[in-house]
Structure 1
Amino acid sequence: MSESSSSETGTMQQAAELSRRMVCGGLAGMIAKTATNPLERIKMLSQTGEHGSKGKQSIANLYRSIVRNEGILGLWAGNGANLLRVFPAKAVVFSSNDYYKKKLRILSGTEAGQALPNSLEFLGGGMAGMTATLVTYPLDLARGRISGKLKVEGSSRHYNGIIHTVLATVKEEGVKALYKGVKPTVLGAMPYEGIKFGTVGLLEKTFPAQINIGSDGKTEKPSIWRKLVFGGLGGVMAGIITYPNDTIRRMLQLQGSRGTETIYEGYFDCIKKVYAKHGIGRLYHGIGINIVRMAPNTAVQFSSYELLKRSTEGYF
């Protein structure tokens, strides 16, 4: 076989492997998001305060308000936008994290089979988060606007689906409005994904899997339960640390949308005004439900991704 043919074959194999990881990542994200969307909806209403009641509301009260005003399917409001956003976002996050870790391994001189330094685990995840955010941000904004308000009977202040949300936003506020809050989102995505992937990597090194040899002489792969537990812990850690930033970006995304006045001039102005009016605690509204949501969400993400990768080996 000629050198050029060998090179082309190698390139095709790399492209096929990247495609496989992207599909697995996207499907894993969709499974996790659909399973936890009710918790996500309650969290977002708690963050934005757009639930039609004064003061902070309990998880149970928000649940009842959603079901009373929108029916049981209201718990999945925004899930269509979620899935359209999550598939490409998680496809990019997981595949680019693998890609960046591979490149960082080469640049750092870390040999194959040797554990990547913790700092590079965090860096790879952070770069993956930034990449995915920039690619899928308008879909995230649409999802936030659909889920961030409670629909009230007779009101025209709500959005109907992702396409309607995007078109209405552009018509009423201009194309630039699709990137409202992008700065805190990027600033939040980098540490969030960095902490999430970094924590999982740290846990895998701290608690190494027992290596077993099967009857066929092949090395058995670690239990999928490791990814489930480590993924859940990584998500909770990342969610707690970056939660105030997430609240700020949701407030910036929502302002100027139907029936919501524009009162913040930017990221730091939002922090200043929220702190002056409500105190630092306002930035943590909904953190309880977020912790409850993040643990199963990221646990399912990581375990599904690993399971799908194993199941599709040799098919791409």
Structure 2
Amino acid sequence: MNSKVGDPHVKTPQVTGEAELSPLELLVVGSIAGVVAKTVTAPLDRVKLIYQVTPSKVYSFRCALQLARDIARLAGPQGLWYGHMATVYRVVPFAGVQFLMFETMQKRLARLPEAKESPFAPFWIPACAGASAAVSATIATYPLDVIRTRIAGHLEAVPRYRNYSSAVHGILQIEGFRGLFRGLSPTLLGIGPYGALSFSAFEFSKGKLRQWHGVSSDSDVPLHHLLAAGSLSGASAQLLSYPIQTVRRRMQLPYPEELGAQGSLAYANIRDTFRQIHTTEGLVALYRGASIVWLKGPLTVGLAFGVNDMLKGF
């Protein structure tokens, strides 16, 4: 009974042919999947980001639609993708490293004696691999995420930064090298559980889908079923980790909007950020823009997981 439960996941590398892919191939496939997913959902992500870092804006789904219209009016439709190249610069290595690390860690953990004997292997193996993959990719690409937040986190007719190099220069000049890593602590606090939950839920769902369709390979499962499984896994993980993501964004964009980049730092650390949000805005502010996750989260994660598996099949 135990071995039957563990087989769909412990033997996944051999069944699906993933062992035939080189680390470089896994890196490229993961990068492409990440770019496709982020490009499609970039407008939703920018609207959500502005609400996360602007306490004065009243949030509702209707207001979010109006904000998207305002962005398009101020900067043209391309304004909805403003800062997206910074996202691409980050997503290419992030998604590549994340999927590569996940495949590598999952295979190594599956070879452990404990994995062969444990009935819970299908859960804890992808959970541990997913957490380590998400943390590794985050540390490797974090400064790019800070730069993207600084570029896309303001609603202005004239961009605050002319280009990416000016954003880096501005951060280094005012805050020093540590400014490129502002908000790393809450990011790591949230990204570990997020990676564990999203990857483990997706791997478990794929095992059930293979059983349901009576196939032994992920590539034989219909793509829309893989997209649905990835979407549900990602949405659940994102909603659970959303408050810590709001704290992360506030720390990445540390200056009050009205002071630009000339005032004192508004958020010193995780505890201070939580306290300020709770005192001035209430705990509900930690979920500002969260309903957008029901659109963006499933689409982003579903596309990333689905495209990644489809390309590995090719």
Question: Under a length normalisation based on structure 1, what TM-score does the superposition of the two structures give?
Answer: 0.84
CA shift for structure 1 position 277: 1.1
1:245 aligns with 2:247: no
Structure 1: give runs of 5+ residues left out of the alignment. 1-12, 312-316
2:98 is aligned to: 93
2:176 is aligned to: 174
Percentage of identical aligned residues: 29
CA shift for structure 1 position 264: 1.9
1:105 aligns with 2:104: no
The range that moved more, 23-32 or 251-260, is: 251-260
Letter paired with 2:300: N
1:310 is aligned to: 313
The range that moved more, 286-295 or 253-262, is: 253-262
CA shift for structure 1 position 97: 0.6
2:142 is aligned to: 137
The range that moved more, 118-127 or 76-85, is: 118-127
Question: Under a length normalisation based on structure 2, what TM-score does the superposition of the two structures give?
Answer: 0.85
Alignment of 1:263-282 (within 5 A): 263-282=266-285
User: What's the secondary structure of 1:117's corresponding residue?
Assistant: helix
Q: Are residues 292 and 259 of structure 1, via their aligned partners in 2, closer, same or farther at CA, if it must alter by over 3 Å? A: farther
CA shift for structure 1 position 212: 4.9
Deviations 1:220-268 (A, max 9, x none): 7222223211111111001100000000000000014625641222001
RMSD, aligned CA: 2.5
Larger radius of gyration: 1
Deviations 1:148-193 (A, max 9, x none): 111244xx7x123333212221122211100000011111111111
1:181 and 1:250 in contact (8 A); partners too: yes
1:232 and 1:298 in contact (8 A); partners too: yes
Q: Are residues 16 and 230 of structure 1, via their aligned partners in 2, closer, same or farther at CA, if it must alter by over 3 Å? A: closer
2:135 and 2:192 in contact (8 A); partners too: yes
CA distance in 2, matches of 1:136, 1:202: 28
Letter paired with 1:272: R
Letter paired with 1:195: L
1:286 is aligned to: 289
Deviations 1:18-45 (A, max 9, x none): 1100100001000110011000001101
Structure 2: give runs of 5+ residues left out of the alignment. 1-17
Q: Are residues 149 and 15 of structure 1, via their aligned partners in 2, closer, same or farther at CA, if it must alter by over 3 Å? A: farther
The range that moved more, 201-210 or 161-170, is: 201-210
Q: Are residues 212 and 266 of structure 1, via their aligned partners in 2, closer, same or farther at CA, if it must alter by over 3 Å? A: closer
CA distance in 1, matches of 2:263, 2:240: 28
CA distance in 2, matches of 1:219, 1:175: 44
Deviations 1:43-73 (A, max 9, x none): 10111117xx653362112112211222111
1:119 is aligned to: 124
1:84 aligns with 2:89: yes
The range that moved more, 236-245 or 249-258, is: 249-258
Q: Are residues 85 and 267 of structure 1, via their aligned partners in 2, closer, same or farther at CA, if it must alter by over 3 Å? A: same
1:162 is aligned to: 164
Q: Are residues 17 and 276 of structure 1, via their aligned partners in 2, closer, same or farther at CA, if it must alter by over 3 Å? A: same
Deviations 1:108-162 (A, max 9, x none): 4445xx9843122211111111000100000011111111111244xx7x12333
Letter paired with 1:163: S
CA distance in 1, matches of 2:107, 2:265: 44
CA shift for structure 1 position 107: 2.0
- Match 1:200 to one of 202, 213, 219: 202
Letter paired with 2:186: P
CA distance in 2, matches of 1:220, 1:14: 14
Deviations 1:3-23 (A, max 9, x none): xxxxxxxxxx98961110010
1:4 is aligned to: none
- Match 1:297 to one of 300, 304, 312: 300
Letter paired with 1:222: V
Letter paired with 1:239: Q
CA shift for structure 1 position 206: 3.7
Q: Are residues 98 and 77 of structure 1, via their aligned partners in 2, closer, same or farther at CA, if it must alter by over 3 Å? A: same
Q: Are residues 285 and 79 of structure 1, via their aligned partners in 2, closer, same or farther at CA, if it must alter by over 3 Å? A: same
CA distance in 2, matches of 1:294, 1:219: 22
CA distance in 1, matches of 2:254, 2:174: 13
User: What's the secondary structure of 1:56's corresponding residue?
Assistant: coil
